[in-house]
Amino acid sequence: MSIDRRQFLQACSALGLSGTLFPGALYATAVEGSVPGADGPALRPGNDGRVPVSITPEQVSSAAAIAGLDFSDDETEMIAENLTEALSGYETLRDVGLPNARRPALRFDPHIDGRAVPEKGENDGLDLAFDEGTRPERDEDLAFAGVATLASLLRAGEVTSVELTELYLSRLRRFDDKLNAVITYTEERAMEAARRADAEISGGNWLGPLHGIPYGAKDLLAVEGYPTTWGAEPYRNQVIDETATVIEKLDEAGAVCVAKLSLGALAWGDVWFDGTTRNPWNVEQGSSGSSAGPGAAVAAGCVPFAIGSETLGSIVSPSTRNGVTGLRPTFGAVSRHGAMALSWSMDKLGPMARSAVDCAIVYNAIRGKDDRDPTTVDAPFSFPASTNASDLSVGYVASAFEAEYDGVDADRETLERIKVAFPRVEPMEWPSTPPVGPILKMLEVEAAAAFDDLTRSGADDTMVRQERNAWPHVFRAARLVPAVEYIQMSRHRAELIRRTNDVMADFDVVVAPTYAGSTLGLTNLTGHPCVCLPNELAPVDEAPADSPRRQPRSITLIGGLYKEGAVLQVAAAVQEVTDTHLKRPPIA
């Protein structure tokens, strides 16, 4: 007989496969004979007459063999009875339902090895000057000015927030036919905030360096009164009746949200329900993701900064592709309340901007404890870091720099610049065990749980990407990961955290190639912060020699837990003596 995918998922769901040892081998055995009228086990009402009411010892034996387990006949009989008893409980919980925002009772802690969150010092915050500024003659130069420069211009009265807001909205509309980076304009909200900022600044009430500065937000962040689509067709018309904490904090700082920017559907890639977001350095190429819109819009001078998110490379990858600077903060340093949940133990929010200084300004505004996100902490931050350059200890992943890969020469040159600026630079290596790859399966399992309803309803079929390496299929496969194995991954992750923290105890900052070696996966699992900064604009291989198209590349700086100030200081030191981050893409 032939059973389609939806019938298979219904069977797996009723059998509780997301929480047992059963792999996909039960597909053939559990569903066979369960069509109405056929001989077989009794049928459970309410499941289209296709799902057996009980699990048989034969099904247990088949699944156990795939799981590498061997039980006696008596053990198999008792397991079947236990699992059959559990079926009604699974169904009862599914009937109750859960919103995406509801977190598990367990929570991830990057200090699981017992290290304490550092206390704030007296130098907490920014130590930057914003007093002087002369307005550029051309609007294009104004559009590409950094946050610090715009703050000086606004405070000096050289430009108004309304002017900036209209400029960036105009540029978004001008270039979005090519970039496809905007999902929703928030113009009414933006103009109201800009007018308010101008009145406050002109009245002598300057709130700080983000006061009156326009920006864009990745469209997994809720903004009350506007759609929050998560980039996915099933949620195209979704409106969430709340505003994310990071947006609230930026509102309090006087910043102006002009648009909700694209993300790859449900935070993977650069393909969303309305097409592909493009790289302004080469519009024939996608902008990478999942913070696709933030990367493209910042690079093209359509916003001076944007808020992105990262679970496994979603700030780092589009920052690299689009040639912008991205900060992925320490896990728990920035509240995720009001953000789409993908992986409760790995999701992080952070700024993408022109420079490390700009990222520091934005991070200072959005960091901190939030009772609505129990993973958050009130950690210290100072920029420039209170530690002198001569006191900073910098490591570099020696084996990664010895490898051959695209961009290795630029990475080695950046490392040499760091060695000149910081006298204490030494080779190091990440722990070789436990292996990072298998532990990353935790992300897939958590994501499948976050979007369980999407999978079981069949609405995942409406998403644009349906290939193997796309969420719909990954959600389906992850439902069959045994619960015991998920816990074992978590235990290995705890050991990885301990070993990584032991290594990082000797360094404030570690320099690493962005993609060579295990750095990206390892540090997302451990919760360490990083800054990704552009360090090369390479020619595009297939383009003519005189083509303006370029392939941005980057290098990554990893900080110790809550050492955003140190890692941003090293990044800023590199950018003081280089200009890659100041270059403008041909689309601009």
Q: Supply the residues annotated as catalytic.
A: 218, 290, 314
Rounded distance, CA 9 to CA 399, Å?
44
CB 582 within 8 A of CB 421: no
The phi, psi pair for 108, rounded to 5°, reads: -80, 140
Task: Produce one character per residue of 499-527: b if its CB has 16 or more CB atoms within 10 Å, e if not.
Answer: bbbeebeebbbbbbbbbbbbbbbbbbbbb
Residue type, 108: F
Query: 433 by DSSP, 3-state: which?
Result: coil
What would the two tokens of residue 102 be?
């509801």
| Maximum separation of any 2 CA atoms in the chain, in Å | 84
CB 131 within 8 A of CB 155: yes
Helical ranges in 67-180 per DSSP H: 73-96, 139-143, 147-156, 161-179
What would the two tokens of residue 483 be?
């619960």
Environment class of 139 (CB within 10 Å of its CB; exposed 0-12, middle 13-18, buried 19+): middle
Query: What single string gives the DSSP state of each residue in 79-104?
Result: HHHHHHHHHHHHHHHHHH---TTPPP
**Which stretches of 245-341 are assigned E, i.e. beta strand?**
256-261, 271-272, 275-276, 278-279, 282-286, 305-310, 325-328
**Which is it for strands 394-397 and 509-513: parallel, antiparallel or unpaired?**
parallel
CB 79 within 8 A of CB 71: yes
Rounded distance, CA 380 to CA 171, Å?
37
CB 189 within 8 A of CB 226: yes
Query: What single string gives the DSSP state of each residue in 455-517?
Result: HHHTGGGGSS--STTSHHHHHHHHTTS-HHHHHHHHHHHHHHHHHHHHHHTT-SEEEEESSST
How many residues are recorded in the chain? 588
Contacts of 491 (CB under 8 A, 6+ apart): none
Rounded distance, CA 508 to CA 1, Å?
62
Residue 557 per-residue DSSP state: E
Q: Which of 267, 405, 232 is nearest to 339 (CA)?
A: 267
**Which is it for strands 348-353 and 550-559: parallel, antiparallel or unpaired?**
unpaired
Question: Cis link prior to 384 (omega < 30° from 0)?
Answer: yes
Rounded distance, CA 528 to CA 452, Å?
29
Q: What is the 3-state secondary structure (H, E, C) of 519-540?
A: HHHHHHHHCCCEEEEEEEEEEC
